[in-house]
């Protein structure tokens, strides 16, 4: 007798952002139907959460590859044999952590990543949650005159500002390295949903182009505070085996470091993206 397979469930977490995916094993090969469902859920909810996932780095990369080519980080070396993987690790010796401020991943690249998949292996007893914020909701909440003004502007995203000296603790000597700096629109259009999203962030955006320093600083200060409104957010509690898959074109995230000196450990695989417009 063939037992019926439970259908994949998509359970929205908030009206604006986030959904949990149930009844899906990421380690198994993905059918075209499953891909279409998960892709549609990502487009609708911007960040997807999975629990109880056991998968190797190779399986993690295979899942991510269904959504596009894998991205290699310009500053962080991957574990042996896996240059596309970033170890996310914090313990009692850590002096900083990855993602400890609002950002979308690697926006200093000319073609910033489309998405990121973080698989958590070890979590603190409590704490270590990650916040995700919808940049669609942040854009939609702006007044029409401000949407129009920002829609005509670009901003400089600086790898130099974000990364210089940043990975010494991972054994990276970056004196001979250069990091990417690129201009991107302040408001980007999502290439699949065609929705508009705010695209400046605290870690990478150095200045808004074509306005004075003072105007740039004031606009950025306003926008950085605006995107942090709880109404645009979902907060994710991790367990060993949890995965978050977020769309960097529509979401910013913030890793909360409230659990020192406990350990938190996982691996991130990042999917390449295209030039924002
Ligand atoms: C990151 O990819 O920015 C880290 C997110 C996290 O550790 O929750």
Q: Which domains does the chain have, with CATH numbers?
A: 9-271 (3.60.130.10)
Cβ atoms of residues 45 and 19 within 8 Å = yes
- CA nearest 109: which of 222, 248, 228, 212? 248
Output the six-digit token pair for 63: 């899942």
Residue nearest to atom 3 of ligand 1 (CA): 99
Q: For residue 4, count other CB atoms closer than 10 A to its CB.
A: 6
pTM, full prediction? 0.94
CA 115 – ligand 1 centroid, Å: 12
Q: Is 118 in the pocket of ligand 1 (CB under 6 A)?
A: yes
CA 5 – ligand 1 centroid, Å: 33
Best substitution site from 118, 166, 239, 258 to test ligand 1's pocket, by max atoms within 8 Å of Cβ? 118
241: left (phi over 0), alpha (psi -120 to 50) or beta: left
Distance CA 14, CA 11 (A): 9
What ligand 1 atom has the least distance to the C-alpha of 264? 7
Residue nearest to atom 7 of ligand 1 (CA): 255
pLDDT score at 1: 65
Best substitution site from 73, 78, 98 to test ligand 1's pocket, by max atoms within 8 Å of Cβ? 98
pLDDT tens track for 137-185: 999 999 999 999 999 999 999 998 888 777 777 777 777 788 889 999 9
Give the three-class secondary structure for 201.
coil
Q: Is 201 in the pocket of ligand 1 (CB under 6 A)?
A: no
Residue nearest to atom 8 of ligand 1 (CA): 255
CA 145 – ligand 1 centroid, Å: 34
Distance CA 170, CA 30 (A): 34
Best substitution site from 88, 97, 131 to test ligand 1's pocket, by max atoms within 8 Å of Cβ? 88
Catalytic residues: 103, 105, 253, 268
Distance CA 32, CA 28 (A): 13
Residue nearest to atom 2 of ligand 1 (CA): 99
Distances, alpha carbon 149 to alpha carbons 140, 141, 196, 221, in Å: 14, 14, 14, 16
pLDDT score at 3: 62
249 contacts: CB under 8 Å, gap ≥ 6: 104, 114, 188, 190, 191, 197, 273, 276
What ligand 1 atom has the least distance to the C-alpha of 256? 8
Cβ atoms of residues 188 and 249 within 8 Å = yes
Q: For residue 123, count other CB atoms closer than 10 A to its CB.
A: 21
CA 99 – ligand 1 centroid, Å: 5
202 contacts: CB under 8 Å, gap ≥ 6: 101, 102, 103, 224
Render each residue's pLDDT in the chain as its tens digit; 277 residues: 666 667 999 999 999 999 999 999 999 999 999 999 999 999 999 999 999 999 999 999 999 999 999 998 877 778 888 999 999 999 999 988 888 899 999 999 999 999 999 999 999 999 999 999 999 999 999 999 999 999 999 999 999 888 877 777 777 777 778 888 999 999 999 999 999 999 999 999 999 999 999 999 999 999 999 999 999 999 999 999 999 999 999 999 999 999 999 999 999 999 999 999 9
């Amino acid at each position: 007798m063939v037992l019926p397979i439970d259908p994949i469930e998509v359970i929205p977490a908030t009206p604006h952002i986030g959904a949990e995916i149930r009844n899906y094993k990421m380690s198994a090969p993905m059918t075209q139907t499953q891909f279409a469902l998960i892709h549609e859920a990502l487009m609708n909810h911007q960040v997807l959460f999975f629990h109880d996932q056991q998968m190797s780095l190779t399986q993690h990369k295979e899942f991510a590859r269904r959504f596009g080519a894998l991205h290699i980080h310009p500053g962080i070396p991957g574990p042996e044999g896996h240059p596309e993987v970033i170890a996310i690790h914090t313990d009692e010796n850590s002096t900083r952590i990855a993602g400890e401020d609002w950002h979308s991943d690697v926006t200093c690249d000319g073609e910033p990543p489309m998405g990121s998949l973080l698989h958590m292996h070890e979590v603190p007893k409590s704490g270590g949650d990650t916040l995700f914020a919808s940049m669609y909701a942040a854009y939609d909440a702006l007044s029409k005159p401000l949407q129009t003004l920002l829609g005509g502007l670009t901003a400089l995203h600086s790898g130099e500002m974000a990364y210089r000296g940043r990975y010494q603790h991972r054994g990276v000597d970056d004196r001979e390295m250069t990091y990417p700096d690129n201009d991107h629109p302040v408001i980007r259009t999502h290439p699949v949903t065609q929705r508009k999203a705010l695209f400046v962030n605290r870690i990478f955006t150095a200045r808004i182009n074509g306005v004075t320093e003072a105007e740039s600083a004031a606009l950025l200060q306003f926008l950085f505070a605006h995107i942090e409104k709880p109404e645009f957010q979902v907060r994710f509690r991790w367990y060993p085996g949890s995965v978050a898959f977020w769309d960097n074109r529509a979401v910013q995230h913030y890793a909360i470091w409230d659990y020192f000196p406990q350990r938190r450990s996982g691996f991130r695989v990042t999917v390449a993206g295209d030039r924002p417009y």
